[in-house]
């Protein structure tokens, strides 16, 4: 097997491991905190950016296979620690907010206007914090219109 193919697969595996822990921290400390009903696999698949994943896979593959072992080891340890840091509750919560939350959003349907924050935008529903009633509610996407 050529070194280029080895670098490609090594980068994919290492980046997958990092992504797993980032999304695990988000699931544990953001999704579960708000009681959002979403499985880890759906969270992982729906919020994976293929361009960032491909870039990081290429970068880490190059580092692991072609670069000096000490430099590669140091960079890999730092990246791993950053990914594992989402397992710390405040860090996982903040990263989850950054990736998933949209603040100050307005929706309307046939009967109501909703003003608040989107906690999670799922495939068919939106987990929404309505400021007027001070409660988290579930909204059906197909019945809503966003007001800009």
Q: What is the per-residue pLDDT for 142? A: 86
Mean pLDDT over residues 89-93, rounded? Answer: 97
Range of the domain at 118: 101-147
Q: Look-up: residue for tokens 């906690």?
A: 119
Q: What is the per-residue pLDDT for 143? A: 83
Total count of domains within the chain: 2
Query: Is residue 91 domain-shared with residue 24, that is, in the same domain?
Result: yes
pTM for the complete prediction? 0.87
130 DSSP assignment: E
Query: Is residue 87 domain-shared with residue 76, that is, in the same domain?
Result: yes
Query: Is residue 135 domain-shared with residue 105, that is, in the same domain?
Result: yes
Query: Is residue 125 domain-shared with residue 93, that is, in the same domain?
Result: no
Contact 126, 138 (CB under 8 A): yes
111 pLDDT band, cuts 50/70/90, is confident
Q: Rounded mean pLDDT of the chain?
A: 91
- Rounded CA-CA distance 30/93 in Å is 5
Residue 83, pLDDT above cutoff 80: yes
CATH code at 123?
A: 2.30.30
Q: Which helix (H) or strand (E) holds 147?
A: strand 145-147
Query: Is residue 25 domain-shared with residue 90, that is, in the same domain?
Result: yes
């Amino acid at each position: 097997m050529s070194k280029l193919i080895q670098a490609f697969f090594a980068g994919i595996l290492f980046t997958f491991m990092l992504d797993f822990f980032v999304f695990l921290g988000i699931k544990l400390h953001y999704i579960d905190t708000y009681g959002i009903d979403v499985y880890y696999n759906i969270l992982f698949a729906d919020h994976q950016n293929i361009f960032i994943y491909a870039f990081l896979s290429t970068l880490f593959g190059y580092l692991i296979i072609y670069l000096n072992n000490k430099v590669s080891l140091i960079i890999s340890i730092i990246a791993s620690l950053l990914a594992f840091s989402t397992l710390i509750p405040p860090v996982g919560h903040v990263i989850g907010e950054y990736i998933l939350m949209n603040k100050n959003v307005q929706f309307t349907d046939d009967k109501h206007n909703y003003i608040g924050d989107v906690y999670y935008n799922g495939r068919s529903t939106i987990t929404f914090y309505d400021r007027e009633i001070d409660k988290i509610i579930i909204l059906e996407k197909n019945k809503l219109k966003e007001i800009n």
